Amino acid sequence: MGNIKRISFLFIVLSLGFQAQAQRCGACIIKGDIVTSYEYSFDKRYEMNSVMKFPQAIYVAHYLDSCGISLDQRVTVKKQELEQNTWSPMLKMIDVEREFSYGELLALSLQQSDNNACDLLFKLCGGPRDVQNYLRSLGFKKIRLKWTEKQMHSKPQRSRGNWCTPSDMAELLNWFYCERQSSPVLMYIWDLMLNCETGNNRIKAALPSGAQLAHKTGTGFSKDKTLRGINDVGIVVMPNGDYYPIAIFIKHTQREEEVAEIARLLLSP
């Protein structure tokens, strides 16, 4: 996982507001050879929610490259076979059936967080266990995928089975940035994440002027119609070319702007 020198700093929070946040937030950023972890909870595992579509995409790139499958190769999708009661912009694109390329499915999954597109990629390329096994082969042992979007939708409590630690997610982001030019599919994923259409009030709202962000958001199931998990992970590229992998996970929040507040702390000099 690179030549990163692991140096952790304990972040002491004096604000009562952030102390209240202490039991529900985990964040990590990598700056050069320094890994700064803001671990506010003894429970270091956080539900990924739709952030899991990022490690899935890393696996899909490996699968397509290994099998010699082009991003332009098309598959037929029948509307009646898709989940109807889920977040899925692709449903409006299909009358009865339609062909989609692998590239289009990745774009729908990563840029619009389409749950049906995500599950189609699981069906076509390999399920959660295949993704997890590949991640472990790369050395990432604290990112776990167990359930598909359909399986979580049927039993929301299953979302706890798809978890990661902020530090391992930041390390995976760092691996992705360093390896992205080794594969046209990885470069395509990079471009998709640079143009993610979700989470404008999260890390993106904390970016310094001129910085870019390649990222993937995640939003959990509402537990009482107001509180839910809100996540954002990505790579900040500064105007001078420096880059910072950053991963932020918040449990039980009402405001996605809290992600931006934490991102500003992490990105400050």
What backbone torsions phi and psi does residue 13 show, to the nearest 5 degrees?
A: -100, 120
Please, is 239 exposed, middle or buried when counting C-beta atoms within 10 Å of its C-beta (0-12, 13-18, 19+)? exposed
What backbone torsions phi and psi does residue 29 show, to the nearest 5 degrees?
A: -140, 145
> CA nearest 204: which of 170, 227, 168, 195?
195
Known catalytic residue at 109: no
Task: For residue 100, give the DSSP letter.
Answer: E
Length of the chain: 269
Assigned token pair, 81: 């076979």
CB atoms within 10 A of CB 161: 16
Please give the Cα distance from 166 to 79 (Å, whole number): 36
Please give the Cα distance from 245 to 172 (Å, whole number): 9
Q: Are 14 and 5 a contacting pair, CB within 8 Å?
A: no
Q: Are 28 and 166 a contacting pair, CB within 8 Å?
A: yes
Catalytic residue (choose from 50, 88, 109, 159): 50
Assigned token pair, 33: 């050879």
CA distances from 44 to 54, 136, 212 (A): 20, 18, 28
Catalytic residues: 50
